[in-house]
Amino acid sequence: MSHGCLTWPCFILLILLNGIAMASHLTIIAGLGNPEDRYAQTLHNAGFWFVDELARQAGTQFRYEKRFDAELCKIELAGADVWLMKPQSYMNLSGGPVRSMLDYYRLTANELLVAHDEIDLQPGTVRLKQGGGHGGHNGLRDVMQHCGKDFMRLRLGVGHPGHKDQVTNYVLKRASGDVEAAILQNINEAADVMLLLADDGLNAAMKKLHTNSNQES
């Protein structure tokens, strides 16, 4: 029996190959934040904190790469090289360096994970997802403008100040000790599933991370 000019075995193989091509493969983890020491401990730099922790665990250090305007280092996950990236163009212009990395290595947005602070999640909550909107986050907005919206996101909850007019001042200040401790705990939990993400894919990593007994609904 045939389907058009394809036999059924060939047709099924084509579907499987298309599915593989659309699957997310982790090649770059970009943490979002602002350069300069004065921003280092602010909530808006939670994405930087995350990739810093991955680099620390791997025993490697970031170096500045002018062609991408980013600090980079390379780690190994599930037997494959994964780039860690910290754009140095300031949060609101994060998309240019990320796009330049994708273009240089001929990668797609499906191979990108962006780690960022998330005011719509409480401290102590971390979520993985793929696609979606920017939710008012200017760093995400710029990455989407340059790369589309199909990349994976690691959303590190930092809490909300209570009013939208207070958001900018809130994320550009250092958190209280309790909030910072909750975010660092989330970073450790997320770091623990990166190997699973690289090896078994997004769904497996989401299931493990989101069912952690310490996560809020």
Query: 7-59 pLDDT, tens per residue?
Result: 555 544 444 444 433 456 899 999 999 999 999 999 999 999 999 999 999 99
Is residue 96 in some structural domain?
Answer: yes
Residue 5 forms part of a structural domain: no
In the numeric block, which tokens belong to residue 189? 């939990």
| 178 in any annotated domain | yes
Distance CA 215, CA 186 (A): 9
Is 83 among the domain residues? Answer: yes
Active site residues: 44
Domain count within the chain = 1
| Residue 119 located in a structural domain | yes
Helix axes 46-58, 177-192, angle to 10 degrees: 50
- 96: domain CATH number is 3.40.50.1470
Look at residue 185 and give its three-state secondary structure.
helix
Dihedral sign for Cα 11, 16, 19, 20, please: negative
Tell me, yes or no, whether 12 lies in a domain. no
- What stretches in the chain show pLDDT beneath 50? 1-5, 11-22, 213-217
Cα separation, 125 vs 150, in Å, equals 22
- Is the separation of the CB atoms in 116 and 32 below 8 Å? yes
Measured CA to CA, the distance from residue 175 to residue 148 in angstroms comes to 31
CA 31 to chain centre: 6
- By residue range, what is the domain housing residue 96? 27-210
Per-residue pLDDT at 22: 42
- Is residue 137 domain-resident? yes
- Give the span between the Cα atoms of 60 and 54, in whole angstroms: 9
pLDDT at 211: 87
Pairing mode of beta strands 80-87, 126-130: unpaired
Question: What is the identity of the amino acid at 103?
Answer: D
Of 140, 181, 156, nearest to 50 (Cα)?
156
Per-residue DSSP letter, 1: -
- Domain contains 20: no
